[in-house]
A and B are shown apart, each in its own frame.
Chain A
Amino acid sequence: MATVAEDRLFGKSIKRREDPRFITGRGQYVDDVKLPGMTYAAFVRSPHPHAVIKGIDASAARQVPGVIAVYTGEDVKVGGLPCGWMLPDIKVPPRPALASGKVRYVGEPVAIVVAESVYAAKDGAEAVRVDYQPLKATVNPKSAHDKGAPKLFDDIPDNQCFYWTIGDKAATEAAFKSAATVVRQPLVNQRLIPNAMEPRACVASFSPAMGDLTLWVTSQNPHVHRLLMAAFILGIPETKMRVIAPDVGGGFGSKIFVYNEEVVACWASKTLGRPVKWTAERRESFMNDAHGRDHVTEAEMAFDRDGKITGLRVKTHAALGAYLSTFAPLIPSFLYGPLLSGVYKIPVIFCEVWGMLTTTAPVDAYRGAGRPEATYLVERLMDRAADQLGVDPTELRRRNFIPKFTDGTPYQTPVAFAYDSGDYEPALRRALQMAGYDALRKEQELGRKQGRLIGIGVTTYIEACGPAPSAVAGSLGAGAGLWESGQVRVHPTGAVSVYTGSHSHGQGHETTFAQLVADELGIPMEQIDIVHGDTAQIPFGMGTYGSRSACVGGSAIFRSLEKVKEKGRKIAAHLLEAGEQDLVFEKGAWSVKGAPGKSKAWGEVALMAYLAHNIPQGMEPGLEATSFYDPTNFTFPFGAHVAVVEIDPDTGHVKILRYVAVDDVGRVINPMIVDGMVHGGIAQGVGQALWEHGIYGEDGQLVTGSMMDYALPKADQLPMYETDRTVTPSPVNPLGVKGAGETGTIASTPTIVNAVIDALSGQGVTHLDMPLTAEKVWKAAAASRK
């Protein structure tokens, strides 16, 4: 029988319940799945960025010992990979599961080899001969637009997939005409390669006996995988497909999407009647996982005589890659333009985006997804403006903050978003206080006299989490609703299983969601099981991305908890022969007000719900509830980050001396987990600022195709982070939570760049494009010495 929990757990740093299996090596990731009769797949990939396939000869591969089958695009009869977000007048190129006729990026899968072992499959893949006629590459989103640039698809002129705008063009032009000061800055937001530590993997197992297909896949959203694959690609009933996303080793966006390999593995399993496993080598992850960012932008901000912003104008060429990944068009449009108001009162904004096809891996959501690009732009402009206007960057930000609005009245920006609540100055004040800003400026000044290059960078940012009201998403082009499901099943003992459509790939839902349940039902966490990642167990759900698990997924669970409590109250009132209104529910029991001896514990009520010997007349037995929670708005976390860096003038090496982050993510369920996400987010953002860059050469080859060439942040390059929070509860959801998964990444990139440019400001440097490698910084500093 369920026992009683002691304290409220919301807000407590409970140690994670999922950790024991991970720290003992007993996590169950996709590559750990082993089935009888398993076969192993390897893919033949294009070595060319752009070429006509003239012929494929697999005869030698078929002779390799252990090879079972080789299939090419001609053999694999499945639908193309769909794109799940449409924009007005968008041109959607077909995306075959295996290349057909042409290849359009290095690493594009051309054939699959299935064998008795991984080693045999790779031997087989090496033996497949493909005859290519190479064509010219085009890798830069701006130059892909030029007349004469190589065309990826005959029927898509100028490689332009879409042209999208937001805001008021005429009003913005007028604002610039009457501006006292205009700040202009071309910016490159470079291509990033996500690199979750677990490479993507899948195991497809078709049962010839039952006609069922089970797919274990590294997915952030198993139901989305099932729907897209069953309905659009494989053409089988959803009821015949089960998708399991077990322990998943990080995603950062890259595991949202449906990829070629799992589609082909499913088809091969069905064709062969045996399970097929594929696990990416890291080099394959570099080539074929969806990349992030890759914007080339011109941005201008207009100011009046008082240093108040009067307008913002943005033109961005965004790379989409060779094909449209699952949500590719969304990222540089509705997750980018609407963020351009930042935390500032900007009367008019106009933003134009050209979505461009390039002979590169597809580009889609990567941690932050559009918001980091917008925030970087706004925050770099603010620093450029402060410099140009001769104002302290913190003062310029304060001057332009949207005034506090926490009374439930949203703030309407000129770019569609209505912020739910905000109080921006206290976060900045706290961050500056923690950093000791005034003292830092003095230290910087003193250091300069001694030849030291110390820089202080500040960012105040906005973030939009918890996508999204489904009707709004639909009107903007979504091919899906963006609600979340949460099912609460109370067992006869009072123990509870929760089935959530959210998926944890590091976020710790098994802990945080259990904290919510324990509080609401007054039972200990040991009696609560959080089930996620299996379409056979869980009602349809939308998964985890956009920092939506707590605010959308958590709210769905909360609604179901209310429903089971409501039914429990009726049963308790019946058993206690009291009016429902006279009952109080505390510490896992209903008692009659004023008669504390008369009570029924949660477990007793649960048992009676299933015995059904004595429940109100007409009531159905059982105790469970399902909710589909559709948010009424995004939530809008915000905060202020401060970094202090020092540049070694001899080498250009940037050392981070301090990093302070003050975030407002609303109410916090588990501070330890939120701090951890902030830390990791900061590290990823710092990675973009200083080291990471997915580079395609002009010849279309991926120059940064391994961890030897692509610089992921390491332990000895990063500092300890100093974190704090202000708490402005979100009025959007019943929990008052906002979202914390991406704030660090959004804020830290401009914070670090602002700090480095600040360090170089004495050398006359006003901007450098990322990443700010030692070489680039040294060259900039050296140029000024000439």
Chain B
Amino acid sequence: MKLPVKMTINGQTTSHEVEPRLLLVHYIRENVGLTGTHVGCDTSQCGACTILMNGQAVKACNLFAVQADGASIQTIEGLAKNGELHPIQQGFWEKHGLQCGFCTPGMIMAACQLLERYPTPTEEQIRHQLEGNLCRCTGYHNIVKAIQWAAETMAAKK
């Protein structure tokens, strides 16, 4: 049995017939072909698959594609606008907030929601909010710095 799904991903409408058990992250990666959203675990610990669904940071491995029917999705590929990096992306580059890059899309998408909740976050708030995203390379030090850089840059732009 297949079910129709239709959603907006990074401003573009997509529709497919999918198995009800198809995970949203596999839909995004395989059916839509956006491979920036990664799969790092099978128990929803690592956060590499974090995307924004209707503005909320969610783990795309924790939803079926059919649950996202009608939703508006943003992935890492949709974050830069007109070739200009989002301040969070820029912050990760400036502050060396990544090494192997595998956790990075999920980290950046989680940071989007983090900075919406806490536009001027403390270090403790940043660390707490990233509790659902694992990184094995950076020891988190420069990820914290990257998000602090982004917060300052976004505040200065307002």
- Residues on A lying within 8 angstroms of B by beta carbon are 15-16, 18-29, 31-32, 34, 118-119, 195-199, 247-250, 252, 279, 281-283, 505-508, 672-673, 675-677, 679-684, 706-708, 712-716, 718, 720-721, 744
Whether B73 is near chain A, meaning CB under 8 Å from some CB there, is: no
Q: Separation in Å of the B75 CB from the closest CB of chain A?
A: 7
Q: A24-B89, A718-B140 are in contact. Are A672 and B36 (CB under 8 A)?
A: no
* Complex CA–CA separation, A682 to B138 (angstroms): 9
Interchain CB contact under 8 A, A282 and B130:
no
Interchain CB contact under 8 A, A707 and B93:
no
Q: Separation in Å of the B40 CB from the closest CB of chain A?
A: 5
Interchain CB contact under 8 A, B93 and A16:
yes
Q: Which residues 136-154 in B have Cβ within 8 Å of A in the complex?
A: 136-144
Interchain CB contact under 8 A, A197 and B102:
yes
Contacts of A708 in B (CB 8 A): 43, 45
Whether B103 is near chain A, meaning CB under 8 Å from some CB there, is: yes
- Would you mind naming 22 contact pairs between A and B with Cβ atoms under 8 Å apart? A15-B93, A23-B89, A23-B93, A23-B101, A23-B104, A25-B36, A27-B102, A31-B29, A31-B38, A32-B29, A119-B19, A247-B100, A249-B38, A250-B137, A281-B42, A282-B42, A506-B101, A679-B142, A683-B138, A714-B134, A715-B144, A744-B139
Q: Which residues 103-158 in B have Cβ within 8 Å of A in the complex?
A: 103-105, 108, 123-124, 126-128, 130-131, 133-144
Interchain CB contact under 8 A, B98 and A32:
no
Contact of B139 among A20, A706, A721 (CB under 8 A): A721
Whether B34 is near chain A, meaning CB under 8 Å from some CB there, is: yes
Contacts of B92 in A (CB 8 A): 19, 23
* Complex CA–CA separation, A732 to B89 (angstroms): 39
- Residues on B lying within 8 angstroms of A by beta carbon are 19, 21-22, 26, 29, 33-43, 45-46, 48, 75-77, 79-80, 85, 89, 92-94, 96, 98-105, 108, 123-124, 126-128, 130-131, 133-144
Q: A26-B36, A682-B139 are in contact. Are A716 and B96 (CB under 8 A)?
A: no
Which residue of B has the minimal Cβ distance to A686? B139
Contact of A119 among B21, B40, B137 (CB under 8 A): B21
Q: A19-B98, A23-B108 are in contact. Are A680 and B40 (CB under 8 A)?
A: no
Known: A15-B93, A25-B75, A715-B128. 8 other contacts (CB 8 A): A20-B93, A23-B92, A24-B80, A197-B134, A506-B99, A681-B139, A708-B45, A715-B144
Contacts of A23 in B (CB 8 A): 76, 85, 89, 92-93, 98, 101, 104, 108
Contact of A283 among B34, B36, B42, B101 (CB under 8 A): B42
Contact of A25 among B77, B96, B135, B137 (CB under 8 A): B77
* Complex CA–CA separation, A505 to B143 (angstroms): 18
Interchain CB contact under 8 A, A24 and B36:
yes
* Complex CA–CA separation, A19 to B93 (angstroms): 6
Interchain CB contact under 8 A, A197 and B85:
no
Prevailing SS type, chain B contact patch: loop
Interchain CB contact under 8 A, A250 and B100:
yes
Interchain CB contact under 8 A, A679 and B46:
no
Contacts of A15 in B (CB 8 A): 93-94, 96
Q: Separation in Å of the B148 CB from the closest CB of chain A?
A: 11
Q: Separation in Å of the B37 CB from the closest CB of chain A?
A: 7
Interchain CB contact under 8 A, B139 and A197:
no
Quick one: which of A197, A199, A673 has the most chain B CB within 10 A? A197
Which residue of A has the minimal Cβ distance to B105? A25
Q: Separation in Å of the B55 CB from the closest CB of chain A?
A: 19
Interchain CB contact under 8 A, B79 and A197:
no
Which residue of B has the minimal Cβ distance to A247? B101
Which residue of A has the minimal Cβ distance to B142? A676
Contact of B131 among A195, A508, A714 (CB under 8 A): A714
Which residue of B has the minimal Cβ distance to A250? B100
Q: A20-B93, A23-B104, A24-B85 are in contact. Are A676 and B99 (CB under 8 A)?
A: yes
Which residue of B has the minimal Cβ distance to A708? B43
Contacts of B26 in A (CB 8 A): 118
Contacts of A744 in B (CB 8 A): 139
Interchain CB contact under 8 A, A282 and B96:
no
Interchain CB contact under 8 A, A197 and B96:
no
Q: A119-B19, A249-B102 are in contact. Are A715 and B43 (CB under 8 A)?
A: no
Contacts of A22 in B (CB 8 A): 98, 101, 104
Interchain CB contact under 8 A, B100 and A16:
no
Contacts of B94 in A (CB 8 A): 15
Q: A249-B102, A679-B141 are in contact. Are A716 and B131 (CB under 8 A)?
A: yes
Interchain CB contact under 8 A, B45 and A508:
no
Interchain CB contact under 8 A, A680 and B93:
no
Interchain CB contact under 8 A, B34 and A25:
yes
Interchain CB contact under 8 A, B98 and A707:
no
Interchain CB contact under 8 A, A197 and B131:
no
Q: A119-B21, A119-B22, A197-B46 are in contact. Are A715 and B100 (CB under 8 A)?
A: no
Contact of B134 among A21, A28, A707 (CB under 8 A): A707
* Complex CA–CA separation, A720 to B130 (angstroms): 15
* Complex CA–CA separation, A18 to B35 (angstroms): 17
* Complex CA–CA separation, A31 to B33 (angstroms): 12
Interchain CB contact under 8 A, A683 and B140:
yes
Interchain CB contact under 8 A, A715 and B143:
yes
Q: Separation in Å of the A532 CB from the closest CB of chain B?
A: 14
Interchain CB contact under 8 A, A715 and B127:
yes
Contacts of A25 in B (CB 8 A): 34-37, 75-77, 79, 105
Q: Separation in Å of the A718 CB from the closest CB of chain B?
A: 6
* Complex CA–CA separation, A679 to B145 (angstroms): 13
Interchain CB contact under 8 A, B40 and A716:
no
Q: A19-B93, A25-B76, A250-B99 are in contact. Are A712 and B136 (CB under 8 A)?
A: yes
Interchain CB contact under 8 A, B127 and A282:
no
Contact of A716 among B38, B99, B128, B137 (CB under 8 A): B128
Complex A-B, nearest 6 residue pairs according to Cβ-Cβ distance, in ascending order: A25-B36, A249-B102, A22-B101, A683-B139, A506-B100, A25-B76
Interchain CB contact under 8 A, B99 and A508:
yes
Which residue of A has the minimal Cβ distance to B41? A282
* Complex CA–CA separation, A252 to B105 (angstroms): 21
Contacts of B96 in A (CB 8 A): 15-16, 672-673, 675-676
Interchain CB contact under 8 A, B100 and A679:
no
Q: A23-B93, A198-B102, A248-B100 are in contact. Are A718 and B76 (CB under 8 A)?
A: no
Contacts of B36 in A (CB 8 A): 24-27
* Complex CA–CA separation, A21 to B136 (angstroms): 19
* Complex CA–CA separation, A672 to B98 (angstroms): 11
Q: A23-B89, A24-B36 are in contact. Are A721 and B141 (CB under 8 A)?
A: yes
* Complex CA–CA separation, A19 to B88 (angstroms): 13
Q: Separation in Å of the A116 CB from the closest CB of chain B?
A: 12
Interchain CB contact under 8 A, A706 and B140:
no
Interchain CB contact under 8 A, A680 and B37:
no
Q: Separation in Å of the A555 CB from the closest CB of chain B?
A: 23
Contacts of A673 in B (CB 8 A): 96
Interchain CB contact under 8 A, B136 and A680:
yes
* Complex CA–CA separation, A744 to B137 (angstroms): 11
Contacts of A508 in B (CB 8 A): 99
Interchain CB contact under 8 A, A282 and B40:
yes
* Complex CA–CA separation, A198 to B37 (angstroms): 12
Interchain CB contact under 8 A, B75 and A250:
no
Contact of B102 among A250, A283, A683 (CB under 8 A): A250
Contacts of B102 in A (CB 8 A): 27, 29, 196-198, 249-250
* Complex CA–CA separation, A198 to B139 (angstroms): 16
Interchain CB contact under 8 A, B139 and A507:
no
Interchain CB contact under 8 A, A680 and B108:
no
Quick one: which of B22, B43, B96, B135 has the most chain A CB within 10 A? B96
* Complex CA–CA separation, A22 to B90 (angstroms): 11
Q: Separation in Å of the A250 CB from the closest CB of chain B?
A: 4
Which residue of B has the minimal Cβ distance to A710? B45
Contacts of B39 in A (CB 8 A): 31, 199, 279
Q: Separation in Å of the A761 CB from the closest CB of chain B?
A: 27
Which residue of B has the minimal Cβ distance to A709? B43
Which residue of A has the minimal Cβ distance to B146? A23
Quick one: which of B94, B101, B104, B143 has the most chain A CB within 10 A? B101
Q: Separation in Å of the A581 CB from the closest CB of chain B?
A: 43
* Complex CA–CA separation, A506 to B35 (angstroms): 18
